[in-house]
Amino acid sequence: MKSPLLFSGLSEADVRDLLAAGQARLLKRHEMLGHQGHPADAFAMVQIGHLKLVQLSAGGSENLVRFIGPGDCYGAVALVSGARYPLSAIAVEPSQVLTWTREAIGGLTERLPQLKSNILEEVMRRMSGVLFTAQDLATTRVPQRVAHALLRLAESGGCRTPAGVQIVHPVTRQDLAELTGTSLFTVSRLMSHWEAEGLLLTRRGALTLLDPDALERAGAAAGE
């Protein structure tokens, strides 16, 4: 595993302390790590596997916000006393996370200002990301939004192959539809179209972007 951004600037000794202070937890498929609306009493970092962060709507339906994988963290809001999780985290495959209680992570951030800075930085990065997707939802058409979602997935959880960038998250059309605020039918149509044009490849669940740049352009042109 490449070193998480969470650890940047920390000494090896500090990282060791940090890891030692956390408690590992195994998650089965569909098991929840944190519940939206419940008191944020723990902070966690994914070590193995992938989780999805979902938001419950007023109507009770769930919808996907984003995926997180190894090195990503969840529950930064636990640093605020009395806060509640704004999102739920659910394992999409058997996973392992390292968790810290609120007191533990609070104490660690006091002792390691660099850690606190790293977390704040990550929160700000997330803020920018959410602002961008909100703008995307507000101003662009469906094809471009789907293209952007694919590119974002490729960036956060992609691995380079000779043919292109392969997306490691197990992502369904329904997932993409929720990410982009559309229906799975429309996503299916778009992706069939793009696959016919040779921009991407979907083989039994594995999704590979063959030409990210062209995809960006295709989304913009179709949405025009």
Partner DNA sequence: CGTCTCTTTGAAACGCGTCAATGGCTGTGG
Partner DNA sequence: CCACAGCCATTGACGCGTTTCAAAGAGACG
- Taking a C-beta distance cutoff of 8 angstroms, is the pair 162, 210 a contact? no
174 binding DNA? (CB under 7 A): yes
22 binding DNA? (CB under 7 A): no
Report helix, strand or coil for 145.
Answer: helix
- Taking a C-beta distance cutoff of 8 angstroms, is the pair 47, 97 a contact? yes
Which listed residue (19, 24, 26, 120) binds a copy of itself by CB under 8 A?
Answer: 120
**Amino acid making up residue 120:** L
- Taking a C-beta distance cutoff of 8 angstroms, is the pair 179, 149 a contact? yes
Which listed residue (76, 191, 200, 215) binds DNA by CB under 7 A?
Answer: 191
- Apex 206 CA angle, 205 and 210, nearest 5: 135
208 binding DNA? (CB under 7 A): no
Which listed residue (55, 96, 183, 208) binds DNA by CB under 7 A?
Answer: 183
166 binding DNA? (CB under 7 A): no
Partners of 42 in the beta sheet? 101
Which listed residue (73, 182, 200, 209) binds DNA by CB under 7 A?
Answer: 182
Report helix, strand or coil for 48.
Answer: strand
List the x/- string, 133-162, binding to a copy of itself by CB under 8 A.
xxx-xxx-----------------------
Question: From the list a copy of itself, DNA, none, which binds 188 (C-beta under 5 to 8 Å, kind-based)?
Answer: DNA
- Taking a C-beta distance cutoff of 8 angstroms, is the pair 79, 43 a contact? yes
Question: From the list a copy of itself, DNA, none, which binds 185 (C-beta under 5 to 8 Å, kind-based)?
Answer: DNA
Cα–Cα distance between 36 and 54 in angstroms, integer? 8
The stretches of the chain forming alpha helices (DSSP H) are: 12-21, 102-111, 113-139, 142-157, 173-180, 184-196, 212-223
Minimum CB separation of residue 57 from a copy of itself in Å reads: 6
- Note the residues at the interface with DNA (CB under 7 A): 141-143, 172-174, 181-186, 188-189, 191-192, 195, 202, 204-205, 223
Residues within the interface to a copy of itself (CB under 8 A): 55, 57, 61, 63, 65, 76-77, 79-81, 83, 86-87, 117, 120-121, 123-124, 126-128, 130-131, 133-135, 137-139, 178, 180-181
